[in-house]
Amino acid sequence: MLKKLLVCWRTICIYIPFLRPLLGFPTLVVFIRHAQSKNNKAYAGKLFLERHDQIAAEDRYPDHRIPLSKEGEQQALHSGPFLRMKFGQPDACIHSGHLRTRQTLRGIMGAYGDVHVPVLEDRRWREREAGHTYLMPRPDVEQNFPYQQPYWDLVGDYYARPAGGESLADVLEKRLVAAFADLYKRFAGKRVFIFTHGRVIQCARAYLDELSLEMIEGYLKTKEDDPKNCAIMVYRYSPKLGKLVLHEYNTVCWQQDSLFITDF
């Protein structure tokens, strides 16, 4: 009986705006991976470059300054109408501070016209730090860090830390746990878009779905589940469970728009 009353109370809170903060959670969180960046295009889905000249000298940026490609700019623009139609106006948008997430946000939120939506930068949602092998071609990685691949094979995708960089365990346990605590406190009862990165989205899912270590390792090995550019992961508040629950994963926004022009 008490459980039914609690579910009923939570349901009432969802539909009465001034009661929503009492839920202790946002009612909707949409994680949006940035659109295709210039580096995404150059890497073409591979872990390392094969040659130095795959990225021209003038296009070599630090990770936080990598811009979108021309295709990525179009992806963001054509994702906006789909997101507006599907979710309406968010109460707030959060981005990681990296240029590609800011450009994706601008492209998507252009579909909302002059409507004011608060935008916050939270660098805890940034991509994992790649470390010393950043922009290093595979032959150079193998020459300078010969043990990295055997080490990675032994330790696994979650705990392995690239030389000078972060493991996914670092991302989740040292950054995202605190970021989620602030998200729940600041945006309880709100609808939030978070513009972030592929590995961060995977870590967020591991946290929200309360995955065991074995489940996390299995999830990371399934490369088909890697977040795609301008894809969304959607969590909604469940009155029955009293927490955020996964509703949608890896839906590519711009592919849902029948007006999307593929001839860039």
* pLDDT band, residue 263 (cuts 50/70/90): very low
- pLDDT greater than 70 at residue 264: no
Sign of CA dihedral 138, 216, 168, 128: positive
What percent of the chain stands above pLDDT 70? Answer: 89
pLDDT of the residue at 78? 94
3-state secondary structure of 111: helix
Topology of domain 20-37+68-132+165-256, per CATH?
Answer: Rossmann fold (3.40.50)
pLDDT of the residue at 209? 96
* Chain position carrying tokens 């539909």: 15
47 Cβ contact partners less than 8 Å away, ≥ 6 residues apart: 138
3-state secondary structure of 165: coil
- pLDDT greater than 90 at residue 258: no
Q: How far apart are CA 229 and CA 192, in angstroms?
A: 19
The answer to whether 68 and 37 have CB atoms below 8 angstroms apart is yes
What single-letter amino acid sits at 71?
E
User: Residue 32: in which H helix or E strand, if any?
Assistant: strand 28-33
What percent of the chain stands above pLDDT 90? Answer: 73
Q: Which of 47-56, 81-90, 163-172, 226-235 has the weakest average pLDDT?
A: 47-56
- pLDDT greater than 70 at residue 33: yes
Rounded alpha-carbon distances, angstroms, from residue 55 to 47, 60, 178: 14, 6, 35
Select the more confidently predicted residue: 76 or 53: 76
Q: How far apart are CA 232 and CA 103, in angstroms?
A: 16
> Which of 120, 111, 125, 135 shows the shortest CA–CA distance to 33?
125
Over residues 164-211, the pLDDT tens digits come to: 999 999 999 999 999 999 999 999 999 999 999 999 999 999 999 999
Select the more confidently predicted residue: 24 or 129: 129
Over residues 223-245, the pLDDT tens digits come to: 788 999 999 999 999 988 999 99
Select the more confidently predicted residue: 22 or 167: 167
103 Cβ contact partners less than 8 Å away, ≥ 6 residues apart: 34, 35, 67, 68, 72, 73, 76
The verdict on whether residue 191 carries a ligand-binding annotation is no
Domain ranges of the chain: 20-37+68-132+165-256
Q: How far is CA 193 from the centre of its chain?
A: 10
Select the more confidently predicted residue: 41 or 256: 41
245 Cβ contact partners less than 8 Å away, ≥ 6 residues apart: 235, 236, 237, 238
Q: What are the two backbone dihedrals, phi and then psi, of residue 69, each rounded to the nearest 5 degrees?
A: -75, 170
Highest mean predicted confidence (pLDDT) among 99-103, 161-165, 254-258: 99-103
- pLDDT greater than 90 at residue 260: no
Q: How far apart are CA 52 and CA 44, in angstroms?
A: 14
